[in-house]
Every structure is written in C-alpha cells, then in structure tokens.
Amino acid sequence: MQYQILGGELPAVVCTMEPGESVITERGGMSWMTPNMRMQTQAGGVGKALGRMFAGEAMFQNKYTAEGSQGLIAFASSFPGEIRAISITPDHSIIAQKRAFLAATEGVELSIHFRKKLGAGLFGGEGFIMQRLSGNGTAFVEIDGSVVEYQLAAGQSMLLDTGYLAMMEDTVSMDIEMVKGAKNIFLGGEGLFNTKVTGPGRIWIQTMPISAVAGIIASTLPRT
C-alpha cells in the first residue's frame, strides 16, 4: 500500500492498494474509492466489538480489499486538524484519545485501554477509556488542530490542560495533578486538574481539542 495525506487543515488520506491488499476503518469512514474496492463488514469477535464500542468507535468495522487491479480509497478527517500515519509493531503500541482511529492496514488491532488509576480517567480530560492500537501495520490517526510532539526521557514529565493529550506511546504513564492554590483554582480559569504524563516515550499534543472548541461555542450562545 502507498498513501498520501492531502488537504491542508481539512485533510484526507488517500491509499493506493495493490490487488488483494486490504484496509480497515470504522463504520462510515470511507470518503471515496474506485469501484473495484470490495467492502466487507466485520466485528472480529464479540469481545473486540464491545471493546471498540467502549473505546468510542462503532462495534463493527469495514474491511476494503482491492480486487482484480490496483484500487484507490480515501478517508477524510471529521474535524480541522492533522492526520498522522503511525507505524505499529508488536513492541510499539499507541494509546490514543477516543475517536482518534481513522483507518489502518490489516494486522493493526483496535482495542479498549482503561486508565489504571480511576482519578486519571475521571478528571484527566482524556476519559477513563482510551484506544489502544497494537499489532503490526500502519494506522492513520486524526488529531484536532496542529500537533506538537515531545520525546520524554525516563522520569521526565509534562503537565497538559484538559483534552490536549492526543496520543502517547504505551511506555508513557498518565495521571492527574491538582492545581495548587485556592486563588489559582477559583480565579485562574484552568480548572481543578491538569493531566500529567511521564516518560519514557513520545507524546503527541493537539493544539485545538474539539472539547475546547465546543466550550467556546457554548459560551457565545444566548442564555435562556
């Protein structure tokens, strides 16, 4: 498979498939394709289907296979931002925010990932349940806004405002840290908690979380 990520702030990934090659996506993820791409809806087992549902995805996935000749299929993002192609290997899994998964080659598994600490899930802004991308292949992930990456050394930490963590390598740990000082809490406008991520590993930060955009829009609506 070959691919191009096109479209600027409203990107799409366009995949060119050789005969017999397949790509998987969530239900409704396909944007356009050539007629020789055959679709097959699959669950991959009840446990996996339920796991995808709890991780913010549809219970069923669609598998597209090029038949007879080279095929083309495209997947567009659902929000202004970036699409990143991530190499997944048996020793390199990715933990991503809900609804981040766009598409992947066969061999990539999408499953549920629970935060080990309940507090990190309830107050960290990324949710108690996240997505794990594992297996072997290439995954395409949507990120809100632009992307800033950091490679954290062992024991090195970063504090993030709620919702700004897009994804991280599975070697990175995540917790929450309460904002210090009553004046900072009540007057600072940053909320009660920050998300704390600690290396080793890479983190991807998004500059325009959809939750923040929704909050801005809500604040401008007339109150009844």
User: Which CATH number goes with the domain that contains 30?
Assistant: 3.60.160.10
Token duo for residue 179: 């904002």
Question: Which strands, in side-by-side order, build the sheet including 12-17?
Answer: 2-6, 12-17, 71-76, 30-33
The count of structural domains within the chain is 1
Residue 174 has pLDDT above 50, yes or no: yes
DSSP 119-150: HHHHHSSS-SEEEEEEESEEEEEEEES-EEEE
At CA 141, angle to CA 138 and CA 146, rounded to 5?
130
Residues of the domain holding 100: 2-220
Contact criterion met (CB below 8 Å) for 45 and 11: no
What pTM was computed for the model?
Answer: 0.81
Q: Given this model, what pLDDT does residue 91 score?
A: 94
For the chain, the average pLDDT equals: 83
User: 117-159, pLDDT tens digit by residue?
Assistant: 545 445 544 455 788 999 999 999 999 999 999 999 999 999 9
User: 184-216, pLDDT tens digit by residue?
Assistant: 444 444 556 788 999 999 999 999 988 777 777
Lowest mean pLDDT among 26-30, 82-86, 105-109, 170-174: 26-30
Token duo for residue 12: 């799409």
Residue 43 has pLDDT above 60, yes or no: yes
